Amino acid sequence: MAGGQLAAGGPCDGGQDESQEQINSYRDLLVWQKGMALAKQVYRMTEAFPDHEKFGLMAPMRRAAVSVPSNIAEGQARQGRKEFVQFLSHAGGSLAELDTHLTLAADLGYCGQSGVKETVALIAELQRMLTSLRQKVAARLATNH
| Domain harbouring 24, CATH code | 1.20.1440.60
Q: Residues 12-39: pLDDT tens digits?
A: 444 444 334 677 899 999 999 999 999 9
Alpha-carbon gap, residue 104 to 112, rounded angstroms: 12
Whole-number Å distance between alpha carbons of 6 and 16 = 11
pLDDT in tens, 68-85: 999 999 999 998 899 999
Which structural domain range is residue 32 located in? 2-143
Mean pLDDT, rounded, for 35-50 = 97
pTM equals 0.84
Number of domains comprising the chain: 1
Class of residue 74 by CB neighbours under 10 A (exposed 0-12, middle 13-18, buried 19+): middle
Q: How many CB atoms lie within 10 A of CB 75?
A: 27
Looking at residue 21, what is its pLDDT?
Answer: 60
Position 144 pLDDT exceeds 70: yes
Q: What is the pLDDT of residue 124?
A: 98
Instruction: Note the pLDDT of residue 74.
Output: 97
Q: Is 22 exposed, middle or buried (0-12, 13-18, 19+ CB in 10 A)?
A: middle
Longest dimension (CA), the chain: 52
pLDDT in tens, 101-119: 999 999 999 998 889 999 9
**pLDDT number for residue 17:** 42
Residue 79 has what pLDDT? 81
Q: What is the pLDDT of residue 76?
A: 94
